[in-house]
Chains A and B, each alone.
Chain A
Amino acid sequence: MERIVNHPILGPRKDSRREVSFTFNGQRLTGLEGEPVAAALLAAGIRIWRRHEESGSPRGLYCAIGHCMECRLLVEGMGLARACLTPLKANMQLAEGPQLPNEITGRKLT
């Protein structure tokens, strides 16, 4: 999605954050250092961040402020983290939150 460079009311972004590269599901992308991973992924046009643990249906951003936990994804070295509250770092490796097998129902991942 489009980045706003100069906001008509709020003005230009004050902090001159440097551009860094990161990966999502192995795909190389760029974003701004320190912005939430959520903003970097959305700016890169990526909205599907997780597969529902049970159903496997696609999930992504919902509340953007840490309340809903919908945006959890895999951050290398951190495990599952909320994309909306995790600052982007150079060379960060991200992957979508995966569907899980279900030990109780016996459902296995195909």
Chain B
Amino acid sequence: MTSTSHKPLDLLIVGAGPAGLSAAIVGARYGLHVLVLDEFPEPGGRMLGQFHEENGGWWVGKREAERLVAECKALGVDICCSLSVYGITRTDRHWIVRTTQGSKSAVNVLIATGAAEIPCPCPGWTLPGVMSIGAAQVMTNVHYVKPGERGLIIGANMLALAIARELAVSGVVLIGIVLPSPGPLAGADASPRQQLKRLLGLASLAPSTLLRIGGKLANSLGLAGVALRLLPRKGLNIWGVPLQLRTAAVSINGEQQVESVTLANLTHDGKMITGSEREVKVDFVALAGGLYPLAELAAVAGCPFDFAVELGGHIPLHDEQMRTPLEGLYVAGNITGIESAQVAMAQGRLAALSICGEMNRLGEYPDKLLQDGLADVRQVRASALIQFQPGISLAREQIYQKFRAFQETRV
């Protein structure tokens, strides 16, 4: 794939993660010529490093990825890895997508680029040995190399807890999960009260108790009380990792790389207790700031955006069928809001149905198929084990309303 081919592709998908691969399968089933592009050397996206307990067994993202890739291959979907997409422009009839291996033209483009991690800077965070928590996950579960001998996680959000579990199971030594130090950058992330509320709020949302951590926290504290006084200083033991909601990381220290962290105690409302600082030896630190939608490509394409804190940040405007206001441009997966891989897969399938519907490929009952696709996403979302923020469904409804309002202004 070196130059713009003469006949545009039916569907070009950016991102070979759960959303992109699922969309490719549905598109190919309805006869579309589909190409999937991804920057990572192998397809599967971040699913490659994810696993969690579900219904008494392990949900293993790598196996899901292998299943999706095999199905893509069987259907003749082209998957190209190790290349980057850096531009997208529209001609009067189709999209031109610029990649590090030439340009491609396509009638429809699905942007399924997923999410990136929110940086959470603190003194010493540029030292080698400090990494985003996703990096620790990828090194351990995808490349099979431990991120270090002894580590600390800074940031107590859903992402941190889910990955802490994976790292603990994989034999990586973690001395604890602590809060970032109070300051303008950390905001509510550095307040024990806010964090506890947030974690408990999420726990109550998850039908089968979020990774069981919700249950553990709720049992330890009593859901109603949120009594921070009861939080032990040394932390709650979560799968052998102390979750220390009354401790903050003041700095990461080292001459050339990470040698230690300085920790301090916090008051209930998140103020540092002077004189409580102490140095603890670690050789790596994982920063967990949460995820935000990786949406630059949609911006480059000219898609309007809206901000929704529940969805993780700036979201390309889209409707429930995954259409953006731009002709032939669709979005699916974490670019539309931070949720689990299962939701991304359902969104991918729905996006492909929308595209096939637009191209009159859905046969006799297109509306029925689209309705089923919509119901599929709603059902998967309602039963999702991992929810990153409360209020996702409501926030999504507001995005769809804004999409409708935007479309009306253009008529």
- Do the two chains belong together in a single complex? yes
Question: Chain B: residues with CB nearer than 8 A to chain A?
Answer: 39-41, 46, 51, 58, 60, 62, 82, 84, 116-117, 126-132, 134-135, 138-141, 143-149, 169-171, 256-257, 294
Beta-carbon contact of B141 and A7 below 8 Å: yes
A4-B171, A8-B171, A58-B127 known; A48 and B257 CB under 8 Å?
yes
Q: A20: CB under 8 A from chain B?
A: no
A1-B145, A10-B51 known; A85 and B127 CB under 8 Å?
no
Q: A49: CB under 8 A from chain B?
A: yes
Beta-carbon contact of B146 and A9 below 8 Å: no
Complex A-B: 6 CB contacts under 8 Å: A1-B149, A9-B51, A10-B141, A63-B117, A85-B40, A85-B82
Q: A97: CB under 8 A from chain B?
A: no
The A-B contact count (CB < 8 A) is 106
Beta-carbon contact of A66 and B39 below 8 Å: yes
Q: In the bound complex, how far is the Cα of B46 from the Cα of A66, in angstroms? A: 12
Beta-carbon contact of B132 and A57 below 8 Å: no
Query: Measured between C-beta atoms, what is the minimum distance from B63 to chain A in Å?
Result: 9
Beta-carbon contact of B257 and A64 below 8 Å: no
Contacts of A63 in B (CB 8 A): 116-117, 131-132, 134-135
Query: Measured between C-beta atoms, what is the minimum distance from B386 to chain A in Å?
Result: 16
Query: Measured between C-beta atoms, what is the minimum distance from A45 to chain B in Å?
Result: 10
Q: A75: CB under 8 A from chain B?
A: no
Do most interface residues of chain A lie in helix, strand or loop, or is the interface mixed? Answer: loop
Q: Mark A8-24, 1 if CB is under 8 A from B, else 0.
A: 11100100000000000
Most chain B Cβ neighbours within 10 Å, of A10, A57, A61: A10
Q: Please name the residue on chain A nearest to B116 by beta carbon.
A: A67
Query: Measured between C-beta atoms, what is the minimum distance from A7 to chain B in Å?
Result: 6
Contacts of B138 in A (CB 8 A): 64-65, 84
Count of residues in A whose CB is under 8 Å from the partner chain: 36
Beta-carbon contact of A61 and B135 below 8 Å: yes
A1-B145, A36-B143, A85-B40 known; A65 and B128 CB under 8 Å?
no
Contact of A64 among B135, B149, B256 (CB under 8 A): B135
Beta-carbon contact of A62 and B135 below 8 Å: yes
Beta-carbon contact of B140 and A64 below 8 Å: no
Contact of B144 among A4, A62, A67 (CB under 8 A): A4
Q: In the bound complex, how far is the Cα of B127 from the Cα of A35, in angstroms? A: 24
| Given A1-B149, A9-B170, A65-B46, 8 additional A-B pairs, CB 8 A | A1-B146, A4-B146, A4-B171, A39-B139, A39-B145, A59-B128, A62-B132, A63-B135
Query: Measured between C-beta atoms, what is the minimum distance from B292 to chain A in Å?
Result: 11
Beta-carbon contact of A13 and B144 below 8 Å: yes
A10-B62, A48-B128 known; A58 and B134 CB under 8 Å?
no
Contacts of B170 in A (CB 8 A): 4, 7-9
A9-B58, A62-B135 known; A4 and B39 CB under 8 Å?
no
Q: In the bound complex, how far is the Cα of B145 from the Cα of A14, in angstroms? A: 15
Q: Please name the residue on chain A nearest to B129 by beta carbon.
A: A47
Beta-carbon contact of A64 and B41 below 8 Å: no
Q: In the bound complex, how far is the Cα of B172 from the Cα of A8, in angstroms? A: 12
A4-B140, A63-B134, A65-B138 known; A47 and B128 CB under 8 Å?
yes
Tell me the chain A residues, 12-56 only, with Cβ under 8 Å from chain B. Answer: 13, 34-36, 38-39, 42-43, 47-49, 52
Beta-carbon contact of B41 and A85 below 8 Å: yes
Most chain B Cβ neighbours within 10 Å, of A2, A65, A84: A65
Q: A87: CB under 8 A from chain B?
A: yes
Query: Measured between C-beta atoms, what is the minimum distance from A71 to chain B in Å?
Result: 9
Query: Measured between C-beta atoms, what is the minimum distance from A83 to chain B in Å?
Result: 11
Beta-carbon contact of A58 and B128 below 8 Å: yes
Beta-carbon contact of B139 and A57 below 8 Å: no
Query: Measured between C-beta atoms, what is the minimum distance from B194 to chain A in Å?
Result: 26
Beta-carbon contact of A65 and B127 below 8 Å: no
Beta-carbon contact of A1 and B143 below 8 Å: no
